[in-house]
Structure 1
């Protein structure tokens, strides 16, 4: 039955397209033997392997499959002691090379993190027989000739042969070049007869040269003679050639023995590369037909979207949407002849066979296909106006066979069910057959001309009407499948378009029963509603497409603005970094100058230190990050931010930055500006920033001379990077405050902060000495620093 179904559904023609993509005879043999499988896991494997092959082709364009040969016969002969000829050995070498190259190709994909599973497992079985490949290639060239390098003995023998050949030619050329020789020869050439060098001598000069006659011309006027002068050398040459054949045979025997040592590995290579070639043939065929991998199930659910018959040219095919096994298990397709009903059946049937053969199908992504245990089809040319009894009998015989075997795991395709006999009886038979198949639980798609079956689908749960669309205006089928809408006969509409009198048409309508008219009117109304819905859907799709296009344009512009914004910020950050670098250099110079001034002249006046401190503050670059830009405004910040001691502020009237020392009242604050303190009204202050250390521990704040600079710095609870910055700042302020010794409290903890502080102190410019605190000073949780 399967063979007949494959023939009816043109499965072999599909395989004829597939076989063109096989790279080797092995792959072609695999395609020729291909049949649908009924094992779900095997089908899933086939689908996944086709997907992997398609993925590799999309990524790399092709796969290296050249050089693979069917070497099984040669390998088997070698395994029983046979001697392989040069071409057989060359095929074995080529196959080893091809498999090794493909294995490396897959391994390179894995290194590039391409997700594959089936192909890596296959090539894992390949043993790269590089030694055997090398031995064969060193002995035999690409033309199948044994090389001189195959053995030292062969090299010596061939040198002897060349020497003897040169000697023979030399002697014979002296004859052909001599004046007397040219006179006695029919042609001044040297030729070979019976593997011996001879010259063409005229019949009348035969006795002049002596020697042996090996041949003569058709007319007998020319004799091909081996002169006595070269007989001995020719004998030596013949002996050398015999030795050459013996040595070549020995080399081939030796290589054949090497092949016999790797029989299992070579058979495995053939098996793997056969499967690989088949996988990529399927993948290439999938690309040719724009195939996709369907979701497969064993519950009989089919939902093929934009399905196309692979044997119909792309420019002629009209895609169809087919659904079965969800809300209904039987589909009854009605419509006019040549409308595409049979094509629909063949499309569903062939695509199901393809799925169960591990092939992708020409449908949209996300389509669903079912795996059936039996596939039945009764499809034939039932569109002839002559229906004979023999035709009906033939179809009924086939249907009887189907009904004997059908079960709930089957799909049945009936074309023109019940045709070929009396319409009333045929329709009754069709309904009974459909009921039987439905009750068995099988999935069925049937086409028919009978209007009775339109009503059948409405009156049965699990049965759905469908039709192929017909354009009355052009009198042509559109080949579109419409599920849920039964087909109309269109006889009256077509007759009117062709010019039949309205009187005759109206009279004909009067002969049709009221129920039939109601059904036809209902169908006409359904078609009108469907066309209106489709038009609205097209308009909606158009609007959606335009909206998506606008969205993409806006997104593109937004991304462009974001890129420009990022570029501006990056440029600003680079400029800020450069400014900061210059500022640090200036600060270093100022601190050095302050230290020199204070050291050389202890009686230096305060205003000179104030000037130097102002230079230090001006050296700080005016960098404003995005958050501060958002925070700041032209209005006094004190109205928006509650100020506390330690806050960094700007005195608007002086255009100077400082920090709050203390709060006098709600409207007035004491502000430290350099080395000066002054009272400033809150409305004259702009809030800049609040150091995190203040929020955590206001008493540990370090800000300069006088009471706010303590002799100890508490770093407990501060992050490592912030702590290092605090230490740097604290040491500079402590030097300016004139302290000779300070304490840095870092705690014991893991020791990471202590180590970081001590490493910083070792190379600090202001540190004379650093030691661990005594027990009374806090022990290992404190580092005591002596300043220069």
Structure 2
């Protein structure tokens, strides 16, 4: 690109803004070197990089790049044997840390949520030099000072220094107390790195020692008394040792830096690249810019494009298109209407796009990659070369015409100006014809009326103008493609108060052809304005309709998906629960059948089986299992003792207890369980059994269970139940019984055993064996 063009289009100001957005000197350096490329693939890659960084900033708010420094000079000096100072080592550690934080930040971003392959690949190549960072941080604090703990030797030396300093100060402070009248100020100070006293000139002989300095007036001498000279000498020697030890520590760190030279350079290159990409993204965010689609066909399409150097509250957005249906635009109209701004907008946005920067326009914009951008803009008068404005422009145009081809963008401002209007108009049309013939992309501004009809009889050329508001006598700065500009001289003069007769006289002196052209342009402007208004109204309605349609489609799609998801989930859950309950029920029933085949059945096995059956779904999940079975339709009111059929088990038993209107406790053989009413089918009702008197003999048929389950009972209630149960068991004639109290805290077990020890009819008691329930059961033997 031509440096003169870069200057004319003010590309340097864009670079200055970019430099401001860089976080480190590394990024600023790359920003200052920013230059457009004419290679499509390279420009496309640059745009992808900027867009990825812009995506991260939009979604995450920022990219962490703090604490990164340009450590390349330090690394180079260390690699050739130089010794780095503490501050330089600290900058290296900080840069390593900055790279580590950035790498973790990018790794934590969900690749599906935010695909950023370029940035991710860069951060993947950052080497985690944790050992070098740790070595530096263990030796140097955040203020750049070598810490005592950097080595045992340094800790010892500094301890010695502090002791010596304390001794010297104590000795000198004794002087400040005893000879304060001989001192200018009763303080201890330092001169030439040695502790001294400010002694009045006349008392010099009273102190002896060495004079290190004196005040400007000569009235005060800074004397190191002879009594502390030796101590100061030792202190100085210790400080020399300290400096040597610090030098040794820094040398070791410098060697470690040199060993990692390649990795450090690689990390710096990556960090500077990402900082540069982030700066471009921040600039795009500031300008509300969009990523352009790049092409090599010379096509430029921008909707609501804004000049990036004009404040946002002042700039007027414009639609610009060139390169597809037409290759040249001729903008006519009065001065100060914004023609030159439009030229600079197109040129500057082209340079920005070819530099990898996003352009200030709406999404979907398209920009071309040109080999050269030429611009003849502004007053080129040169006093030194004795060239007029016209001559200067012509010199520039001659140079441009030497290099124009189909890969160039040419911007002409006031083409042919500065000479005779007729000759200037002729030259302007001839120059435009030549550039158009070479298939270059050209935008030219002019105020010659002859060029207003230029685009109507030439292929690939279109007229344009900048809108002017007659009511306010101000330009609106809106670009009107396809409509040539009007002079507006008569309308402006009339609104400013010029006599109507003078205006009519002027019109009569103007050629009919000129008036016809002006009338045609006025008609075109009115039609264009009306069409724009109608288009904007239609666009708003269409946009609202599309938004409503999309919203309804999204809601309907989400509803359908949610409905299907919930139905599928419910079906799967129900199927799993039913299958699980069936499987567990079958296992438990089989286990019960096996139990019935054996003569001896342990109480804890019955309890465990009952618990398993309840967990399988006949208590907590009974509702789910009952959904899979046909509910009982009989309306018989069930009472304790009634014989019933448990439908889900296909087993017959009898009612033990009514828990509620919807739930009963049922005895199935040796097992009790809680069953819902709609899972029970009435079979028959037994005749009530006449209870035998308590006085009957042992073994007389007094019916109670051989075990008592006290689990879950309160301590006092449990002992009352135990006392009644023992009496009943004695009447029933049992030789022994099992008391189930569980393990728990052991309080209930102790209470049962204590009761057994005191009862006169109990001969002994013991804890159950493993088959009987272990320590959760106490077996009581009767006399």
TM-score (norm 2): 0.72
Cα distance in 2, alignment partners of residues 42 and 565 from structure 1: 49
Checking the alignment, whether the CA contact within 8 Å between 1:584 and 1:619 is kept in structure 2 is no
Superposition RMSD in Å: 3.2
Checking the alignment, whether the CA contact within 8 Å between 2:197 and 2:222 is kept in structure 1 is yes
Task: Name the SS of the counterpart of 2:498 in structure 1.
Answer: coil
Name 1:223's counterpart in structure 2: 221
Name 1:317's counterpart in structure 2: 315
1:500 equivalenced with 2:556 (yes/no): no
Checking the alignment, whether the CA contact within 8 Å between 2:648 and 2:679 is kept in structure 1 is no
Instruction: Give deviations 1:393-451, integer Å, cap 9, x for gaps.
Output: 00100000100111110000000000000010001100110111111111100000111
Q: 1:187 to 1:61 in 2, by over 3 A?
A: same
Could you tell me which of 642, 646, 663 is aligned with 1:590? 646
Could you tell me which of 371, 374, 388 is aligned with 1:373? 371
Could you tell me which of 486, 503, 511 is aligned with 1:513? 511
Checking the alignment, whether the CA contact within 8 Å between 1:331 and 1:465 is kept in structure 2 is yes
Name 1:690's counterpart in structure 2: none
1:121 equivalenced with 2:177 (yes/no): no
Task: Name the SS of the counterpart of 2:410 in structure 1.
Answer: strand
Checking the alignment, whether the CA contact within 8 Å between 2:214 and 2:221 is kept in structure 1 is yes
Shift of 1:563: 12
Name 2:331's counterpart in structure 1: 333
Q: 1:246 to 1:61 in 2, by over 3 A?
A: same
Cα distance in 2, alignment partners of residues 199 and 467 from structure 1: 86
Name 1:477's counterpart in structure 2: 475
Q: What does 1:661-676 correspond to in 2, within 5 Å?
A: none
Q: 1:578 to 1:413 in 2, by over 3 A?
A: farther
Shift of 1:495: 1.8
Cα distance in 2, alignment partners of residues 296 and 571 from structure 1: 48
Name 2:528's counterpart in structure 1: 530
**Paired residues, number:** 599
Q: 1:357 to 1:210 in 2, by over 3 A?
A: same
Q: 1:561 to 1:264 in 2, by over 3 A?
A: closer
Could you tell me which of 200, 206, 209 is aligned with 1:208? 206
Cα distance in 2, alignment partners of residues 595 and 164 from structure 1: 99
Checking the alignment, whether the CA contact within 8 Å between 1:382 and 1:419 is kept in structure 2 is no
Name 1:55's counterpart in structure 2: 55
Q: 1:578 to 1:523 in 2, by over 3 A?
A: farther
Checking the alignment, whether the CA contact within 8 Å between 2:626 and 2:648 is kept in structure 1 is no
- Gap runs ≥5 in structure 1: 599-615, 622-673, 675-788
Instruction: Give deviations 1:515-551, integer Å, cap 9, x for gaps.
Output: 2222222211211211221222233234445646766
Checking the alignment, whether the CA contact within 8 Å between 1:110 and 1:116 is kept in structure 2 is no
Q: 1:170 to 1:568 in 2, by over 3 A?
A: closer
Name 2:159's counterpart in structure 1: 159
TM-score (norm 1): 0.71
- Gap runs ≥5 in structure 2: 579-620, 633-643, 655-674, 684-783
Checking the alignment, whether the CA contact within 8 Å between 1:318 and 1:480 is kept in structure 2 is yes
- Which sits farther off after the overlay, 577-586 or 526-535? 577-586
Instruction: Give deviations 1:300-356, integer Å, cap 9, x for gaps.
Output: 001111000010011110001111000110100011110000000000000000000
1:252 equivalenced with 2:250 (yes/no): yes
Q: 1:509 to 1:149 in 2, by over 3 A?
A: same
Could you tell me which of 278, 281, 287 is aligned with 2:276? 278
Name 2:130's counterpart in structure 1: 130
Name 1:755's counterpart in structure 2: none
Shift of 1:496: 1.9
Instruction: Give deviations 1:201-231, integer Å, cap 9, x for gaps.
Output: 2223222222222222223222222122211
Name 1:657's counterpart in structure 2: none
Checking the alignment, whether the CA contact within 8 Å between 1:70 and 1:270 is kept in structure 2 is yes
Shift of 1:291: 0.5
Shift of 1:81: 1.0
Name 1:287's counterpart in structure 2: 285
Name 2:20's counterpart in structure 1: 20
Shift of 1:290: 0.1
Instruction: Give deviations 1:361-420, integer Å, cap 9, x for gaps.
Output: 10000011100000000000499xxxx970100010000010011111000000000000
Cα distance in 2, alignment partners of residues 553 and 362 from structure 1: 29
Task: Name the SS of the counterpart of 2:109 in structure 1.
Answer: helix
Task: Name the SS of the counterpart of 2:462 in structure 1.
Answer: strand
Shift of 1:582: 4.6
Cα distance in 2, alignment partners of residues 153 and 455 from structure 1: 91
Name 1:454's counterpart in structure 2: 452
Checking the alignment, whether the CA contact within 8 Å between 2:408 and 2:441 is kept in structure 1 is yes
Name 1:342's counterpart in structure 2: 340
Checking the alignment, whether the CA contact within 8 Å between 1:410 and 1:443 is kept in structure 2 is yes
Q: 1:45 to 1:546 in 2, by over 3 A?
A: closer
1:29 equivalenced with 2:29 (yes/no): yes
Checking the alignment, whether the CA contact within 8 Å between 2:332 and 2:466 is kept in structure 1 is yes
Cα distance in 1, alignment partners of residues 92 and 309 from structure 2: 38
Cα distance in 2, alignment partners of residues 127 and 560 from structure 1: 45
Task: Name the SS of the counterpart of 2:423 in structure 1.
Answer: helix
Shift of 1:36: 0.9
Name 1:464's counterpart in structure 2: 462
Cα distance in 1, alignment partners of residues 302 and 57 from structure 2: 25
Instruction: Give deviations 1:119-173, integer Å, cap 9, x for gaps.
Output: 1222233212111111111111111111111111111111111111111111112
Q: 1:355 to 1:567 in 2, by over 3 A?
A: closer
Q: 1:550 to 1:63 in 2, by over 3 A?
A: closer
Cα distance in 1, alignment partners of residues 28 and 67 from structure 2: 15
Task: Name the SS of the counterpart of 1:161 in structure 2.
Answer: helix
Shift of 1:111: 5.8
Cα distance in 2, alignment partners of residues 409 and 354 from structure 1: 17
Q: 1:446 to 1:211 in 2, by over 3 A?
A: same
Checking the alignment, whether the CA contact within 8 Å between 2:379 and 2:389 is kept in structure 1 is no
Checking the alignment, whether the CA contact within 8 Å between 1:213 and 1:223 is kept in structure 2 is yes
Q: 1:560 to 1:121 in 2, by over 3 A?
A: closer
1:486 equivalenced with 2:484 (yes/no): yes
Checking the alignment, whether the CA contact within 8 Å between 1:584 and 1:620 is kept in structure 2 is no
1:173 equivalenced with 2:173 (yes/no): yes
Cα distance in 2, alignment partners of residues 473 and 578 from structure 1: 85
Name 1:421's counterpart in structure 2: 419
1:106 equivalenced with 2:106 (yes/no): yes
Instruction: Give deviations 1:619-638, integer Å, cap 9, x for gaps.
Output: 489xxxxxxxxxxxxxxxxx
Shift of 1:281: 0.3
Task: Name the SS of the counterpart of 1:478 in structure 2.
Answer: strand
Instruction: Give deviations 1:455-486, integer Å, cap 9, x for gaps.
Output: 22111000000110011111111100011111
Task: Name the SS of the counterpart of 1:488 in structure 2.
Answer: coil
Cα distance in 2, alignment partners of residues 378 and 275 from structure 1: 35
